[in-house]
Amino acid sequence: MAGNSFGKKFVITTFGESHGKAIGGIIDGCPSNITLDLEAIQDELKRRKPGQSKLVTQRKEEDEVIFLSGIFEGKTLGTPIAFQIMNTNSKSNDYDLLKDACRPSHADYVYQQKYKHRDYRGGGRSSARETAARVVAGAIAKQIIKPVEIQAYVSSVGSISVSKKYTELDLSLTETNAVRCPDIETALQMEQLILQTKKKGNTVGGIITCVIKNVPVGLGEPVFDRLEANLAKAMLSINACKGFSLGSGFEGTKMFGSQHNDYYNADGTTKTNFSGGIQGGISNGMDIYFDVAFKPVATLLQPQEMLISGGTLKTIQGKGRHDACVLPRAVPIVEAMAALVLVDFMV
């Protein structure tokens, strides 16, 4: 069954295996006659790409996006926008050792069981490399939904958390450090934790907080396509994501209704915003904010016991490069998916 498309009106379909010829996608449903800032799209890819700092995986990929259709004389045609990013750094030989191995907490085993044939090189389709295509589509979406503004940041790495709420932070500081955490002091601690973890060939998880401002009232469709339902799906479709919470989230479950209810001002805004900008599945014009939980990624540069085809277990040393913490690179992915959710209700 097909499952590589997202959206109903602004539909992105992605393709590509980690070590195939290319990854990319098609956007169907993009409005016509919109001037696209192609450089801004490439900039978003740079925020996601490997090797951007000492914190992240050093796989060298230029990740240059090429557009094949749908844009003419700098403006969208209203026809499908196809794009691709070549896989330039695909040393497949590195993976020969893993040909018959199922790495723990990877998709190797379930892909083998489900498809009976898999591209074992670097995770194939299950690789997070696929998310580069989402970032391209999201970057286009961001331009279309303006003046809606989406800003995500790393709010925790392992046990180190930003203690302030997003409203107390200066989000413009997010891009000033490699961790992408706007609380500079905490960012430094996070950085150290990541580097220590990296040295051990280990990985660590964390949380990304995403804030959306200038949202018009009325986005979202009851009852199944509620705005928060689509956001949750979007986030949980990102590799390594294990949780989503909107507004007061899990903490809000401890509150009483009299505390949690967001009382109105006369202009329709609310005094508090425990709801996280969505009521009854529809945006109410207040900031939308939510948390996204990421597990520590499964690729370790340590010896690990793996399941070998035929049913034996074997300890194999992890090789090559790895992301000790994906959170910094996941920030633009979270933003892209949020943009794709919103644009689908706005075109």
Determine if 260 is a binding residue for its own copies (CB under 8 A): yes
Q: Which stretch binds its own copies (CB under 8 A): 44-52, 145-153, 181-189, 271-279?
A: 271-279
Separation between Cα atoms, residue 219 and residue 303, nearest integer Å: 48
Decide: helix, strand or coil at residue 283: strand
Q: How far apart are the first and last CA of the chain?
A: 27
Determine if 309 is a binding residue for its own copies (CB under 8 A): no
Q: How far is the CB of 167 from its own copies (least distance, A)?
A: 18
Nearest to 151 by CA among 289, 56, 8, 253: 289
* Helix H or strand E segment including 184: helix 184-199
Decide: helix, strand or coil at residue 229: helix
The side-by-side arrangement of strands in the sheet containing 101-102 is 101-102, 303-308, 312-317
Q: How far is the CB of 164 from its own copies (least distance, A)?
A: 18
Would the annotation count 269 as a binding residue? no
Contact pick of 52, 100, 274, 321 for its own copies (by CB under 8 A): 274
Q: Between residue 209 and residue 228, which ones bind its own copies under the rule CB under 8 A?
A: 217-218, 220-226, 228
Determine if 252 is a binding residue for its own copies (CB under 8 A): yes
Would the annotation count 213 as a binding residue? no
Separation between Cα atoms, residue 242 and residue 134, nearest integer Å: 19
Would the annotation count 127 as a binding residue? yes
Separation between Cα atoms, residue 187 and residue 303, nearest integer Å: 30
Separation between Cα atoms, residue 259 and residue 263, nearest integer Å: 10
Determine if 320 is a binding residue for its own copies (CB under 8 A): no
Determine if 343 is a binding residue for its own copies (CB under 8 A): no
Q: How far is the CB of 150 from its own copies (least distance, A)?
A: 18
Taking the CB of residue 136, how many other CB atoms lie within 10 A of it?
29
Q: Which stretch binds its own copies (CB under 8 A): 7-15, 37-45, 53-61, 143-151?
A: 7-15
Q: How far is the CB of 94 from its own copies (least distance, A)?
A: 16
Separation between Cα atoms, residue 102 and residue 97, nearest integer Å: 11
Q: How far is the CB of 140 from its own copies (least distance, A)?
A: 14
Amino acid occupying residue 129: R
Would the annotation count 280 as a binding residue? yes
Structure tokens of 289? 């904010």
Q: Between residue 106 and residue 165, which ones bind its own copies under the rule CB under 8 A?
A: 106-107, 109-111, 113-119, 124-126, 130, 156, 158-159
Which lies closer to its own copies via its Cβ, residue 176 or residue 242? 242
Decide: helix, strand or coil at residue 245: strand
Would the annotation count 59 as a binding residue? no
Q: Between residue 167 and residue 196, which ones bind its own copies under the rule CB under 8 A?
A: none
Would the annotation count 147 as a binding residue? no
Determine if 235 is a binding residue for its own copies (CB under 8 A): yes
Contact pick of 37, 43, 64, 72 for its own copies (by CB under 8 A): 72
Structure tokens of 29? 């449903």
Would the annotation count 161 as a binding residue? no
Separation between Cα atoms, residue 41 and residue 335, nearest integer Å: 13
User: Could you give phi then psi for residue 165, rounded to 5 degrees?
Assistant: -75, 165
Which lies closer to its own copies via its Cβ, residue 146 or residue 271? 271
Q: Detail the residues annotated as belonging to a binding site for NADP(+).
A: 48, 54
